[in-house]
Amino acid sequence: MTLTASPSLLVAGIGEIVLSSSPDAHLVAYGLGSCIALAVWDPRTRVGGLAHFMLPSGPASPGSPVKFIDSGIDSYFRALEARGAALNRCTLKAAGAAAMLTLGSGLAIGRRNAETLQAALRDRGLSLTAAALGGNSGRTVQLEVADGRFLIKSLSSVTEL
């Protein structure tokens, strides 16, 4: 199993969302450390989305709609729904939140990101179908829009959630 490089590769940079309903699309977020990638896929409409969140909280930013989990998650969900996804039937998978950076208080950003994401989903009546959160190494992730597979590449392996 390998991560795909193709013309249908859509990359979610930090604070960005990529969406597609094309069966040959591969949605990717590179180099997740303390950041979190949230993949959402609707098995009925086959709409997929990938958001690359950087920090747990902060003001909404038009240039980086999902830079912050608390102010960006609703715009991500609205964008998915506008494409035909119904959140109540979607799979939600997340990866990242590694212990890479700490704030002056010593509270790990990765852990805070994971806690904020879980709380934001719970507040909206949603939960993760699968997750690879925490640890202390970076990851790259890829959502296959055709079938909803969520691939995670670390230093030595590629796994599927």
Query: Tens digits of per-residue pLDDT, 88-108?
Result: 999 999 999 998 655 555 568
∠ CA 111-116-119, nearest 5°, is 125
Cα dihedral value 116, 119, 120, 124, nearest 10: 170
Average pLDDT over residues 127-143: 94
Task: Please tell me the CATH code under which domain 9-154 is placed.
Answer: 3.30.1330.200
Q: How confident is residue 1, by pLDDT bands cut at 50, 70 and 90?
A: very low
What's the rounded mean pLDDT across residues 97-122?
Answer: 82
Residue 35 is a catalytic residue: yes
pLDDT digits (tens, 9 = 90+) for 5-56: 556 899 999 999 999 999 999 999 999 999 999 999 999 999 999 999 999 9
Residue 89 burial (C-beta neighbours within 10 Å; 0-12, 13-18, 19+): exposed
* pLDDT greater than 90 at residue 2: no
pLDDT above 90 covers what percent of the chain?
78
pTM (2 d.p.): 0.91
More confident residue, 128 or 63: 128
Q: Which one of the listed residues 25, 35, 98, 141 is annotated catalytic? A: 35
Cα of 78 vs its chain's centroid, Å: 15
Two tokens at 44?
Answer: 């009925």
Q: What is the C-alpha separation between 75 and 88, in angstroms, rounded?
A: 16
Question: Beta-carbon neighbour count of residue 153 at 10 Å?
Answer: 19
Of 33-37, 88-92, 134-138, 157-161, the poorest mean pLDDT is in: 157-161
